[in-house]
Structure 1
Amino acid sequence: MKNIDFGIDLGTTNSGIGRYENGKVQVLKNPVGLGEILPSVVSFYRGRTLVGNKAREQYLTNAGNVFGAFKRKMGTAENYAVTSAEGVTQLSPVDLSAYILKELKNYVPGTSIEAAVITIPASFDTIQSNATKQAGYQAGFKEVVLLQEPIAACLAYANLSNLNIEDEQKWLVYDFGGGTFDVALVYINKRELRVLDNRGNNFLGGVDIDHAFLAGTVVPKLSTITGDSDMWNKLVSKDGAYEKLWYYLGYKAEEAKKELSVSQTTWMEIDFPELEILTDIELSRDAINSAVKPKYKESEKFVIELLAENNLTFKDIERVILVGGTTYIPFIKDALRGLGVKVDDSIDPTTAVITGAAYFAGAHQQSEGVDDNPAAHVVNKIDVKLSYETYSNDLEELIAFKATDGFAGHYRITRADGGFDTGLLQFNQTANEFVTLLPKAKNNFKLSIYNNGQQPVFETTAITISHGLYGVAGQLLPEDICIELDSKEDNTYLEVIFKRNNILPLSKTLYKTFSRSIIKNSTDKLIINVVEGKSGTLPGSNLSIGYIAIEGSDLQGDLIQGTDVEIQLDIDESRGLKVDVYIPSTGQQISQSFHISAKEVNLEKMLLDIAAAENTLDAEIAESSKSEAYELSAMFQRIKEELQLLKQKIHETKNDKVTEERYRLDDTKRKLLSELDSLTRSRDVFMATSLYKKEKERYLAQEKYATAVQKAALKKIFDGEKELLQSGDKHLIKRATQELESLNDKIFLQNDEAFISLFWQLNSLPEFYYADISNLAELSEAGQKAIEKRDYLNLKHIVTVMFNKVDDVYKVRRNSDNEHFQHMQKNPTFKTGLS
């Protein structure tokens, strides 16, 4: 196997490709025009498809068939209509991105590129990531590995700069691109580079500055000149000729923005005969700054939040590395310097991500079967485990290996350039060898193993050690990955599977039980719903990335409540999800891989999410009105009304199989449920935490009665207490509280004197609390005598009899502080069948 070697920055406004070779990266140039940067624009003109600069120029004459910034729509079902003599063709963001990638492949003449590393914003969700991979496969790649853009930028900076790092440092990568913004917190020392955390916005970029510039300066000036006071409304409605004018002005605004980055003033020439507009507009840097400032402030907020959540200040940051074309704007550089931190713009912000992607590709092996020629290799007859560092700053590095148990023979290690050769050496099962490295280069080695008859039994050429170059210790998972489960309150909650900022790839096995019985061939369903978002929030406000509905007709036998199910979840480095379900009681195995490249929306599930939210809202409105919190009640009422309107639209959309309306409705639902969650979650977490602390106090008061086994179980709960209470997940805290409560009850009943307290509680109840009052007086008298004699065995029997006589209505543990959260279920609720 060989390394991938090719890295691609698939950007919102510009794209590019680089190649890693012999320890260095070359940003490749377009064979036509020799430019390194390819505008991410596609146009269709007279039966031809144009990509890049030629396509971008079409904004001036053929705006209706020119498409750019489609990266911002990756992962959605939105299509772009291409009009031609044959009619109208619908193209997706994936289709258009594939055109860009195909064009970049042409930058490498005479070479068939089988695999590539393609970068994505750190804030891309799983569906957007999968859509990017799909574009790569559609462009003809057999393998696509995704890399987060801040990691690529770090690799570029670390490997291009002459760093002399002895102590640990923390950097910020400030990546303000054409369509997206990312900021990453990076740890680096003399050997390792690691991303610790990141934040971002997929709809904050240079395009947004262009639009703000048009709205705030260009269009008002043009309206004054033309006398058309309604010009902005006509432009944003994109009606007729104004749609062409919108793209025309966008092109002009972007050019003016670039000029104002180096000059204080510029002139925008507007020649648009279709609306008889011919004029010049003078523009100043102050005008562009007025558009930049609010967008910069949005980015600064992400930077400050990132530092705060990691308990850092700007004093802890060694430098801020600028990436992305928008960072050329002087206002942004000056504003960042004003934060009191070193701003480093020493690398080219437009090619940094390309370069970093190629460095990553140079150390990333292609998968088996991709560009693999079996005839060129020895058929391996033994298993060998290898160990070595892929990156090193030393001129010698250790390669260690272990062969199949009991194997004895010979080995030979050679460097591809012929500068190192061990010769044939004897070994027994294990061996290690220090190999010499070429400085500042990628060193490729071949290990050959022979049996004692000098016959080859193993060979690999996949040993690559890069000298003096930084690698990266994995990519971060940008959001929690959770599974939806049934709760005891007759609704569902999220249990975290993989936590945000874990290093990809990830794997975990869950053991759950069926919360209800599902009969074979019934219409009931077992639902496995894996979501991406934030644990502790409402399930419906998160993004579903893996949804399996197992119908009764799919079952090989009945699923009985309380029996077990095993769920294996795997997420690869590029965020592909695989779910394996094993049902031991029936022996049934279900496997499904998810590479969803556009949102899949289940309208029935949406309606159930809304029904559950309406139950919560009814209770919240009643409680807030009762406590005269009228402003809060009005907020809940508004959300309820919007959900009711949304429900009506969902019913109207049930038969719509053509438009993208269901995706817009799903986004609206998630937004409204997120608002509801924000209004209630802090309070609910506070209540759950209070109940937990009460149970802890109860334990401490009776700790002396606990057994060693019970103390060990409680210690396990208390050891994770800090993380538990900081999780903000009320369901997680409730489960710990229930476990603590159960242990407390057992400890309480181990204390003989506890039954004295229980007896007096039961004895003091009014008669109407009892369903059966026969011989109650005799039991009372007998209990008092048992207490006098310390006859605990008899007392336990009396207490049990008295408790059994209490009406079931009064046996339920009451808690006035929590009573308002026990919602009456007036609407149908969604149940997964798992707990």
Structure 2
Amino acid sequence: MPSSRKGSPTIGIDLGTTYSCVAVWKDNQVEIITNDQGNRTTPSCVAFTDAERLIGDGAKNQIARNAANTIYIEIIDAKRLIGRRFSDVEVYDDMKLWPFNVIEGTNDNPNIVVTYNGYEQRFSAEEILSMVKTKMKEVAEAYIGDTVKDVVITVPAYFNDCQRQATKDAATIAGLNVLRMINEPTAAVIAYGVGNMSSFNRKRNVLVFDLGGGTFDVSLLTISKQGTFKVKAVAGDTHLGGEDFDNRMVTYCIEDFKRTWDLDVTGNKRAMTRLKDECEKAKRVLSYATQTSIELDSFHEGIDFSMKITRAKFEQLNMNLFKKCINHLETCLTDAKMEKSSIQEVILVGGSTRIPKVQHMLQEFFDGKELCKSINPDEVVAYGGSRSFIISGIPPAPKGVSVVEHCFEIDENGILTITAKIVSTGKTEKLSLMNLSGRLSNQEIEKMVKDAKKFKHEDNEFKRKAEAYNALDDIIYDLKKKIKRNDMPPKDLKNVENAIDDTIEWLSTGKVAAVDKIERKKDYLDFISRLAFSNVFFTLPLAGCTNGCGLRLRIY
């Protein structure tokens, strides 16, 4: 792991499509950090309501409780927007099934639209990604007990310059300094090798089959006896993964509902969110069961929806997608100029590799070879993308006259920079890159960093208010119990009851008050109760007393 600032801890973040995790190097080993719910992984999702922003478990729970008033964004959807234009066909097709709105921003960039704190706000895909990274940063800081700045991030091998830079931008917005980005297949082999070093006493060819939630990567690496890794070939699809398998089921259900009721549900965002969630659950169940049901009460226009789906039907709906995975596998072997018989290990990575048909087809391709399933498939995911750029700075000249000597450099993070010597001027310059897919400018990143700090402040204020309201509810509950079990003068009792009723009425208005006003209400109740209970006595029975005698005590 690259060294960080002196005394500053360095964390590793795996931003997964469905779940993310964060780790720290401690006591000469990697330790996965549990979040505030005690879980080793955190849902990779963000939810917005009229009053608050939720990230992780809170967002996942919110969509189940209040789908109608929640804008729910999964990281997989945000990642599918990175490096794309609003006018791209892929974006248009995905938008039909997303439970949130996407509009055209500046330079044909897609923007996610949400209503937050009473206002319509637009977010780039990088900003949504940064929100989950901020959450993982907070998880690490709570465990370490110190501020975290430096991070190592895993990225898909198929990520190109645009998406690597977008990943780095998202980390910057989250207040993190990226020391290094490492390719996920390499990370997977390292993770496998740590527990199996005896396997690497000779040169081995390892294939990493990485089928995640959004894209598919297959990478072929050669590991020397010394333990050095060399990537021989990479293939994959930027738009193939668990999300696509879910969408096949979603489309199947939509068509069935339309045939039965002659109703189109695609315009009902809440219904689409619920259906997509149920289809994802059904997919998971079908990995260990041969049949399951998709059932939704009051699905659309008060009509219930129910459908039984078998594993065989799920496989039929997705068979051409499964075959595409095998086709990419063949391409990878061809590019590496290797026969499948020369592969010693096949490592499964990504949650979608749990699908039995995928495992069966892969094992069949490798003539029954045992697949390596020892790595947690949710910790390494694969995503890919496309990028194009133009070079500016060449002086005007007739066609064929200007000569430019180029030097292309790819740094350790896989990010491309170009230096050029313009022969006609003799001047060497580092040329600017203009990303036609919508790379963020420095000014945009700076604004997003400021916005992220503002959102964080608003989150903290909302949390403080929630805690203050809860404390006020607690004191009302305690006072009600006290006045039931204690005798006090009628005047004092009336004062306490009036104070309780006034506070309950104030709470029932639903007005969002400042924290200090809520605390003043609590302090007032405390004051009234102390005055009232200072005049309350109760009798502690003593041994041998049969006529109510005992020790008389005052309550404070």
- Residue 350, structure 1, aligned to residue 194, structure 2: no
- Residue 214, structure 1, aligned to residue 250, structure 2: yes
CA distance in 2, matches of 1:150, 1:165: 17
CA distance in 2, matches of 1:593, 1:545: 10
Paired positions, count: 400
TM-score after normalising by structure 1: 0.45
Give per-residue Cα distances to partners, 1:647-681, cap 9 Å, x unaligned.
Answer: xxxxxxxxxxxxxxxxxxxxxxxxxxxxxxxxxxx
Identify if the C-alpha distance between structure 1 residues 81 and 353 changes in structure 2 by more than 3 Å, giving closer, same or farther. Answer: closer
Name the counterpart of 1:88.
120
Name the counterpart of 1:15.
20
CA distance in 1, matches of 2:21, 2:114: 25
Q: Which residue identity lines up with residue 548 of structure 1 in the other structure? A: S
CA distance in 2, matches of 1:168, 1:230: 60
- Residue 2, structure 1, aligned to residue 3, structure 2: yes
What are the within-5 Å matches in structure 2 for residues 679-694 of structure 1? none
Identify if the C-alpha distance between structure 1 residues 228 and 15 changes in structure 2 by more than 3 Å, giving closer, same or farther. Answer: same
Percent identity of paired positions between Structure 1 and Structure 2: 27
Give per-residue Cα distances to partners, 1:501-522, cap 9 Å, x unaligned.
Answer: xxxxxxxxxxxxxxxxxxxxxx
CA distance in 2, matches of 1:88, 1:600: 23
Aligned-residue offset at 1:291 = 3.1
Name the counterpart of 1:182.
217
TM-score after normalising by structure 2: 0.66
Identify if the C-alpha distance between structure 1 residues 197 and 560 changes in structure 2 by more than 3 Å, giving closer, same or farther. Answer: closer
Q: Which residue identity lines up with residue 325 of structure 1 in the other structure? A: G
Q: Does structure 2 retain, via aligned residues, the 8 Å contact 1:546–1:577? A: no
What are the within-5 Å matches in structure 2 for residues 583-732 of structure 1? 583=422, 586=425, 588-592=427-431, 594=433, 596=435, 598-599=437-438
Identify if the C-alpha distance between structure 1 residues 55 and 123 changes in structure 2 by more than 3 Å, giving closer, same or farther. Answer: same
Structure 2's unaligned 5+ residue stretches are 85-108, 441-556
Q: Does structure 2 retain, via aligned residues, the 8 Å contact 1:289–1:331? A: yes
Q: Does structure 2 retain, via aligned residues, the 8 Å contact 1:13–1:179? A: no
Q: Does structure 2 retain, via aligned residues, the 8 Å contact 1:126–1:545? A: no
What are the within-5 Å matches in structure 2 for residues 232-311 of structure 1? 234-235=265-266, 239=267, 242-272=268-298, 275-311=301-337
CA distance in 2, matches of 1:560, 1:215: 52
Question: Which protein shows a greater Rg?
Answer: 1
Aligned-residue offset at 1:267 = 2.6
Name the counterpart of 1:452.
none
Aligned-residue offset at 1:248 = 1.4
What are the within-5 Å matches in structure 2 for residues 362-373 of structure 1? none
CA distance in 2, matches of 1:333, 1:86: 48
Q: Does structure 2 retain, via aligned residues, the 8 Å contact 1:43–1:66? A: yes
CA distance in 1, matches of 2:232, 2:239: 23
Partner of 1:7, secondary structure, is: strand
Identify if the C-alpha distance between structure 1 residues 47 and 313 changes in structure 2 by more than 3 Å, giving closer, same or farther. Answer: same
Identify if the C-alpha distance between structure 1 residues 90 and 161 changes in structure 2 by more than 3 Å, giving closer, same or farther. Answer: same
Aligned-residue offset at 1:292 = 3.7
Give the alignment partner of residue 580 of structure 1, picking from 419, 424, 435. Answer: 419
Partner of 1:204, secondary structure, is: coil
Q: Does structure 2 retain, via aligned residues, the 8 Å contact 1:121–1:202? A: no
Q: Which residue identity lines up with residue 545 of structure 1 in the other structure? A: F
Give the alignment partner of residue 200 of structure 1, picking from 236, 239, 246. Answer: 236
Q: Does structure 1 retain, via aligned residues, the 8 Å contact 2:50–2:118? A: no
Give per-residue Cα distances to partners, 1:443-471, cap 9 Å, x unaligned.
Answer: xxxxxxxxxxxxxxxxxxxxxxxxxxxxx
Give the alignment partner of residue 123 of structure 1, picking from 150, 158, 174. Answer: 158
Q: Does structure 2 retain, via aligned residues, the 8 Å contact 1:98–1:136? A: yes
Partner of 1:338, secondary structure, is: helix
How large is the RMSD of aligned CA atoms in angstroms?
3.0
Partner of 1:105, secondary structure, is: helix
Aligned-residue offset at 1:14 = 2.2
Give the alignment partner of residue 131 of structure 2, picking from 84, 91, 99. Answer: 99
- Residue 149, structure 1, aligned to residue 184, structure 2: yes
Aligned-residue offset at 1:107 = 1.5
- Residue 569, structure 1, aligned to residue 422, structure 2: no
Partner of 2:200, secondary structure, is: coil
Name the counterpart of 2:46.
42
CA distance in 2, matches of 1:286, 1:199: 28
CA distance in 2, matches of 1:111, 1:594: 37
Aligned-residue offset at 1:243 = 2.2
Identify if the C-alpha distance between structure 1 residues 576 and 335 changes in structure 2 by more than 3 Å, giving closer, same or farther. Answer: closer
CA distance in 2, matches of 1:564, 1:213: 55
Identify if the C-alpha distance between structure 1 residues 189 and 138 changes in structure 2 by more than 3 Å, giving closer, same or farther. Answer: same
Bigger relative contact order, structure 1 or 2 (CA pairs below 8 A, ≥6 apart): 2
What are the within-5 Å matches in structure 2 for residues 290-439 of structure 1? 290-339=316-365, 340=367, 341-352=369-380
Identify if the C-alpha distance between structure 1 residues 298 and 115 changes in structure 2 by more than 3 Å, giving closer, same or farther. Answer: same
CA distance in 2, matches of 1:154, 1:145: 17
Q: Does structure 1 retain, via aligned residues, the 8 Å contact 2:388–2:435? A: no
CA distance in 2, matches of 1:275, 1:305: 48
Identify if the C-alpha distance between structure 1 residues 347 and 287 changes in structure 2 by more than 3 Å, giving closer, same or farther. Answer: same
Identify if the C-alpha distance between structure 1 residues 550 and 299 changes in structure 2 by more than 3 Å, giving closer, same or farther. Answer: same
- Residue 71, structure 1, aligned to residue 79, structure 2: yes
Aligned-residue offset at 1:228 = 2.4
Q: Which residue identity lines up with residue 67 of structure 1 in the other structure? A: I
CA distance in 2, matches of 1:596, 1:118: 22
Identify if the C-alpha distance between structure 1 residues 596 and 117 changes in structure 2 by more than 3 Å, giving closer, same or farther. Answer: farther
CA distance in 1, matches of 2:280, 2:209: 21
Aligned-residue offset at 1:550 = 4.0
Q: Does structure 1 retain, via aligned residues, the 8 Å contact 2:13–2:23? A: yes
CA distance in 2, matches of 1:301, 1:560: 43
Identify if the C-alpha distance between structure 1 residues 221 and 566 changes in structure 2 by more than 3 Å, giving closer, same or farther. Answer: closer
CA distance in 2, matches of 1:126, 1:172: 23
Q: Does structure 1 retain, via aligned residues, the 8 Å contact 2:391–2:431? A: no
Q: Which residue identity lines up with residue 73 of structure 1 in the other structure? A: L
Partner of 1:173, secondary structure, is: strand
Name the counterpart of 1:396.
none
Aligned-residue offset at 1:46 = 2.6
Partner of 2:438, secondary structure, is: coil
Q: Which residue identity lines up with residue 30 of structure 1 in the other structure? A: N
CA distance in 1, matches of 2:26, 2:117: 46
Partner of 1:348, secondary structure, is: coil
Name the counterpart of 1:228.
261
Identify if the C-alpha distance between structure 1 residues 565 and 178 changes in structure 2 by more than 3 Å, giving closer, same or farther. Answer: closer
CA distance in 2, matches of 1:336, 1:26: 32
Aligned-residue offset at 1:327 = 0.9
Q: Which residue identity lines up with residue 19 of structure 2 in the other structure? A: N
CA distance in 2, matches of 1:22, 1:283: 48
Aligned-residue offset at 1:41 = 1.2
Partner of 1:343, secondary structure, is: coil
Q: Which residue identity lines up with residue 372 of structure 2 in the other structure? A: D
Aligned-residue offset at 1:212 = 0.8
CA distance in 1, matches of 2:128, 2:167: 11
Name the counterpart of 1:655.
none
Identify if the C-alpha distance between structure 1 residues 349 and 586 changes in structure 2 by more than 3 Å, giving closer, same or farther. Answer: closer
Identify if the C-alpha distance between structure 1 residues 595 and 100 changes in structure 2 by more than 3 Å, giving closer, same or farther. Answer: farther
Q: Which residue identity lines up with residue 206 of structure 1 in the other structure? A: G
Partner of 2:163, secondary structure, is: helix
Q: Does structure 2 retain, via aligned residues, the 8 Å contact 1:169–1:317? A: yes
